[in-house]
Amino acid sequence: MRSRRFSATTRAFALVVLVLGGAMAMPAVGHAAQDSRSLAPFVPTPNDVVTRMLTLAGVTENDVVYDLGCGDGRIVIAAARDFGARGVGVDIDPQRIAEANANAEQAGVQHLVKFIEQDAMAVDVSDATVVTLYLLSSSNARLRPILTRQLRSGARIVSHAFSMGDWDPDVIDRFEDARGSTRTLYLWRHDGTVRP
């Protein structure tokens, strides 16, 4: 009798494990598969790191800040709200673009910023004086020839966490963020050289 109860309990436990395991392995219904053009998953940059990126780039009201892979728009919005810059955010996810537009309106900076649903590899950044990135190293490497071909001499590129291959940055800023995590920012000042 005892062994039968144990056996029934074991069978019930095994069924729960199978059901939960199957549920965890199934893709969530209603979520689109990650776009094949995606250069990185959406991971928001903490607000104190955003401020540090913009400060490192020396953003002023005379700048036009492009954020490639802008997500919820926080970098472009902070550039407008806190530094008086104009900004353009680019993302391939329409949900992120809608969120960014709503956030810009809430912050009262919609007259200074715009958000474009487009592949970052195809966007024209020639108006930018500052480009911000929080992409993968491989994505940065793919963007490097596009950025160095389109940007004017003197433009700044600042990347959170990831470098650009063998292009040595002008500044590497390592620091501890407000949550105690170690962060690294890279800054390049474009000298007009096209880099493959």
Count of beta carbons in the 10 Å neighbourhood of residue 84:
14
User: Residue 176's pLDDT band (boundaries 50, 70, 90)?
Assistant: very high
The neighbour count for residue 163, using CB atoms within 10 Å, is: 16
The answer to whether residue 151 scores a pLDDT higher than 90 is: yes
Average of per-residue pLDDT across 111-135: 96
**Using an 8 Å Cβ cutoff, are 68 and 151 in contact?**
no
Question: In whole angstroms, what separates CA 32 from the centre of its chain?
Answer: 19
Confidence band for 159, pLDDT divided at 50, 70 and 90: very high
CATH superfamily, with its number, for domain 47-189: Vaccinia Virus protein VP39 (3.40.50.150)
Identify the pLDDT of residue 37.
61
Per-residue pLDDT averaged across 56-84, rounded? 98
Q: Domain map of the chain by residue range?
A: 47-189
Percent of the chain residues past pLDDT 70, beyond the cut: 80
This prediction has a pTM of: 0.80
